[in-house]
Structure 1
Amino acid sequence: MKIILISLDTLRASRLTGYGYTKPTSPHMDRIAAQGVLFERAYAADIPTEVAHTGIFTGKIGLTTGVVSHGSELAHLPKSVPWLPTMLRSAGFTTSAVDNLYQLKEWFARGYRYYTNSVGGNRWIDGVTVNELAFPWIEAHREENFFLFLHYWDAHTPYLPPADYIPEFYDSGRDPYDPANRSMERAYNHPAYPFFKHHHYDLVGPVTDSAYYDALYDAEIRYLDDRLKELDDHLEKLGIAEDTLLILFGDHGESLTEHDIYWDHCGLYEPTVHVPLIMRWPGRIPSGKRVHGLVQQVDLLPTVLESIRQEHPSHINLAPLTDPIGLDGKSLWPAIRGGAEGTAEKIFLSECAWQAARAIRTSRYKFIRTYDSGPFTRPPRELYDLIADPAEKDNLADQLPELADQFEQEIGEWVSSKLGGREDPMIRQLVEAGLPFRRRIEQILSASGMSWDEWQRDPRRERFDQAASSCH
């Protein structure tokens, strides 16, 4: 038995044709979905990258593990917490990863017999590099029962797709640098601009047309899709595709100017928390299956374990695996077989990087409670009817105060039940260290001779650029 778990970093569900997008971003991912199952409403309960992946490999949400923030020095995951690669290695699988999450936290390398750090000379990791590192390993271990984790970053900023991928998504008659186009001004003058200036705006150039950034994102997805096709072709060539449980997931999505978020993944809005989830396992998962109910990323661990238990009679050299105690996730197999719509009636959401907020997502409503809005302007409470208002533009919190109160109470009760008397790690983060990404902006501004308060009062790009230039 082979298991390949693939993280498609920063991949937004609604930007894939299989999820209703009209541009041809994902023909091969659509093919994989047609051969297996696509989960229409899969959610990242904790965002962004660090907390999302911690949840995936533990089957537990951030409130359970205590890991709720991205890039925080306060975060720690005890070695006593069951970890998927460790469990699989103990059960007899050869475990491997092509990944660079070890750069974030040491626990992401746990449990692997082979860990290939994909980080290179810059922060942008090309999918070609991931494949070049993974293919020889797959070939060398094709006769073994293995678990392989692959982490593709192509959809993440900076958006630098090969030039020949762009024309399909951006009208050749448009000029992305047209000085008459003012659509980038809000992004360039946003309080978060100092953080993004160096690692994606400067690399793309002085773009004036915001639609060009959206096109670059689409082109990156199509480029990623081609890398996944190369992987699939390699599995077919080696003759192991039929024996491989393939799982594709987005760790979080991406906001493309919605809610004053410019090509980044914060905010508990649909563009960032609604992620793709696709599984294929020939002969075990029915072809063309679509699951309509709510599911979440922490469901992956118990799903993988159940998959192994299903195969155990024909793989006698693998030790049986039982679900760890205290999982927040539930196996997706009942939904795959058609016995359930999903795994949850509601999903609780959380973030603590750019902003600190929690939310509840039901089949109809989204309620968001913001505790610290960071560099954004946010009301403390937001309530959206996602059926009538899928773009989350009409905040109903003041119009439906009783419903908002009910949801806020539900969040409070959920937090209390998960903590069981323990300290709230989000409150600890805010009190002891503040929002991690705000601290990064403050460090950048400080090096430029500016304070956070000064920037907040007058966040103009040219002012920051002049201050930054004077420091060199």
Structure 2
Amino acid sequence: MNIIMISLDTLRADRLGCYGYGKRTTPYIDQIASAGVLLERAYAADIPTEAAHTAIFTGKVGLTTGVVSHGSDLAYLPKSVQWLPSMLKSAGFVTGAVDNLYNLKEWFARGYRYYINSSGKKRWIDGRTVNDLAMSWIREHKDDSFFLFLHYWDAHTPYLPPQPYVGQFYAKDKDPSAPHNSSMHRAYSHPAYPFFKHHHYNLLGPVTDAEYVSALYDAEIRYLDDLIMELDDFLQRLGLKEETLLVLFGDHGESLTEHDIYWDHCGLYEQTVHIPIIMRWPAGMPRASRVQGFVQHADLMPTVLEAIARDAPDGIDLSAIKPPDDMDGQSLWPSILGAAEGTLHEVHLSECAWQAARGVRTQRYKFIRNYDTGLFDRAPRELYDLLADPEERHNLAEQLPALAEEMEGRINRYVSGKLSGRRDPMMRQITEAQLPFRRRIESILAHVGLTWDEWLANPRRERYDTLEAKRATP
């Protein structure tokens, strides 16, 4: 058995056909889901990218590893923490990755015999590059028992899909730069504008229609779907498709203007924390099913380890892949076999990048406790009835104070239990080093002579552009 784990960065669940989306973004991934296992309510307990992937490859949530943030100099994963690629390499798998997370933190390259850094001269990475590198590696190792991790960034900003895909989601007779359209005004007036101006908006051109930007996101997903189909066809031609466990997952989702978040992944709202997880098993293992209960990223590692134990290739040392006793994640196999519905009765959520917040999501309610709102105007406590208000538009924290208090107590007890007396890494981050993305904004503002407080008092696009132009003038 071979294993290919694929991170579909920034892919929110409700933008896939197999999760109920009405537009044709994922016809091929939908086929994979129909032949495999789809986790209907999978959640990114820790966001964004750095914290999420650490949980995936350790089977532990951020409070256990201490990795709760993204871009923080305080975060470090000790080498004593068991890491999925390292375990598989020790067991006898040939391990490879086409990825660039090593550019963030060194631990993302641990355990790989072959680590192919997909970064190039541009900030963004086209999935075409990932496919070309991956297929070359697979061809070379087709006779080995291998583990391969692939990281696709196409759904992440900047949204720059090949032009033929755009017309499938944005009418060709519409002008995305029509002067009468003001729907981009709120995005351009947001305090995060200096960051996204350089990393996104400048690359799109003079867009005035917010619907166009969201259509580009769908187009990127459609392009990604074709890349996955190409990769799968390649496995079929090599005779590897029926021998390979394929695991597709989003590391987090994306807000497309919801909650005053413009094409980014912060906030513990469903758009960002509800993610797709789809698995297709090798021949002879369980086939099509949909799991309806709550699961989380940390469940992937014990699930993969159990899959290997159930169908180990010749020459694999099973003693090297014994699941660690201190994992937070649980194997999904009972759910896959119909003996359970998910691994959790409630999901605890965490973020520490643009904002610092924790949340808990139950069958009906979600509660969010905001500790540092960064660039955003948020209430300290948010409570949503997801049955009556699935878009999380109506904060009930003041109307239902007893319930809000009870749910905050759940978070506090959960945090205390995970830390077991250790210092809270989130509190350390916001008291000792500030939010990582605040530092990024402050650095950008410094180049035009603005302080953080000055900018927050008057975050106008025209003001920033004028100051930037003056600084650029010799």
The residue that corresponds to 1:148 in the other structure is 148
Task: Check whether the contact 1:36–1:285 (CA below 8 A) recurs between aligned residues.
Answer: no
Aligned runs of 1:57-72 on 2, under 5 Å?
A: 57-72=57-72
Q: Distance in 1 between matches of 2:23 and 2:80?
A: 46
Q: Aligned runs of 1:23-42 on 2, under 5 Å?
A: 23-42=23-42
AA aligned to 1:143 is D
Q: Paired residue for 1:280?
A: 280
Separation in structure 2 between the aligned mates of residue 284 and residue 55 of structure 1, nearest angstrom: 29
Aligned equivalents of 1:147, 1:114: Cα separation in 2: 10
Contact 2:44-2:296 at 8 Å conserved across structures: yes
Is it true that 1:109 corresponds to 2:109 in the alignment?
yes
Match of 1:165 in 2: 165
Corresponding residue for residue 440 of structure 1: 440
Deviation at 1:317, TM superposition (A): 3.7
Counterpart-to-counterpart distance in 2, 1:7 and 1:123: 18
| Amino acid paired to 2:183 | S
Partners of 1:37 and 1:363 lie apart in 2 by 21
Following superposition, the deviation at residue 287 of structure 1 comes to 3.4
1:11-410 matched pairs, under 5 angstroms: 11-312=11-312, 315-320=314-319, 321-410=321-410
Q: What CA distance in whole angstroms lies between the structure 1 residues aligned with 2:110 and 2:287?
A: 34
Give how far 1:331 is off.
0.3
Find the aligned partners of 2:412 and 2:45 in 1 and give their Cα distance.
16
Residue type of the alignment partner of 1:410: R
Partner of residue 450, structure 2:
450
Structure 2: distance between partners of 1:285 and 1:452: 55
- Code of the residue aligned with 2:361 in structure 1: it is R
Distance in 2 separating the partners of 1:326 and 1:353: 26
| Structure 1 CA distance for aligned equivalents of residues 277 and 428 of structure 2 | 32
Deviations 1:349-387, CA, capped at 9 Å, x for gaps: 000000000000111111000000000000011111111
Shift of residue 284, structure 1, vs aligned partner: 4.4
Q: Following TM superposition, by how much is the alpha carbon of 1:316 offset from its aligned partner in structure 2, in angstroms?
A: 4.4
Please state whether the residue corresponding to 1:471 is helix, strand or coil: helix
Offset of residue 285 of structure 1: 4.5
Question: Counterpart of 1:6 in 2: which secondary structure?
Answer: strand
TM-score between the two structures when normalised by the length of structure 2: 0.98
Instruction: Say whether residues 1:426 and 2:426 are aligned partners.
Output: yes
Distance 2:325 2:123 in 1: 37
Q: Deviations over 1:41-84 (max 9, x none)?
A: 00000000000000000000000000111000010100000000
Deviation string 1:362-420 (CA, Å, 9 cap, x unpaired) is: 11111000000000000011111111111000111111111110100010011110001
Q: Is the 8 A contact 2:246 2:279 kept in 1?
A: yes
SS state at 2:318 partner: coil
Paired letter, 2:318:
A
Letter in 1 for 2:179: P
Q: Which 4+ residue blocks in structure 1 deviate beyond 6 angstroms?
A: none
Structure 2: how far apart are the matches of 1:460 and 1:289? 50
Deviations 1:207-233 (A, max 9, x none): 000000110000000000000001000
**Among the aligned pairs, what percent are the same residue?**
67
Report the Cα offset of residue 144 of structure 1: 1.0
Secondary structure, aligned partner of 1:432: helix
CA contact (8 A) 1:36 1:282 kept: no
Amino acid at match of 1:80: S
Tell me the alpha carbon deviations over residues 290-315 of structure 1, each in whole angstroms, 9 at most, x when there is no partner.
11100000000000100011013x53
Which AA in structure 2 matches 1:319? Answer: L
1:284–1:406 CA distance, 2 compared to 1 (3 A): farther
Q: Could you tell me how far 1:286 is from its partner in structure 2?
A: 3.7
Contact 2:93 2:316 in 1 (8 A): no
- The 8 Å contact of residues 13 and 19 in structure 2, kept in 1 or not, is answered as yes
Aligned length: 471
Q: Give yes or no for contact 2:82–2:324 (8 Å, CA) kept in 1.
A: yes
The farther-off stretch of 316-325 and 182-191 is 316-325
- Secondary structure class of the residue paired with 1:395: coil
Matches of 2:163 and 2:396, distance apart in 1: 43
Instruction: Work out whether residues 45 and 348 of structure 1, in 8 Å CA contact, stay in contact via their aligned partners in 2.
Output: yes
Deviations 1:253-308 (A, max 9, x none): 00000000000000000000000000001334543311110000000000010001
Residue type of the partner of 2:214?
D
For structure 1, the 5+ residue unaligned runs are none
Asked whether the equivalents of residues 249 and 277 of structure 1 are also in contact (C-alpha less than 8 Å), the reply is yes
Distance 2:122 2:393 in 1: 37
**RMSD over aligned Cα, in angstroms?**
0.9
Measure, in 2, the Cα distance between the counterparts of 1:63 and 1:317. 32
Structure 2 unmatched runs, 5+: none
Alignment partners' CA distance in 2, 1:374 and 1:282? 46
**1:174 CA drift (Å):** 1.5
Q: TM-score, normalised by structure 1?
A: 0.99
Rounded Cα–Cα distance in structure 1 between residues aligned with 2:354 and 2:199: 16
1:10 alignment partner in structure 2: 10
For 1:284 and 1:37, locate their aligned partners in 2 and report how far apart those are by CA, in whole Å.
14
Matches of 2:19 and 2:214, distance apart in 1: 17
Whether contact under 8 Å (1:93, 1:318) holds in the other structure is no
Partner SS state of residue 299, structure 1: helix
Counterpart CA distance in 1 for 2:123 and 2:275 is 23
Deviation at 1:172, TM superposition (A): 1.7
Check the 8 A contact 2:309/2:318 in 1, yes or no.
no
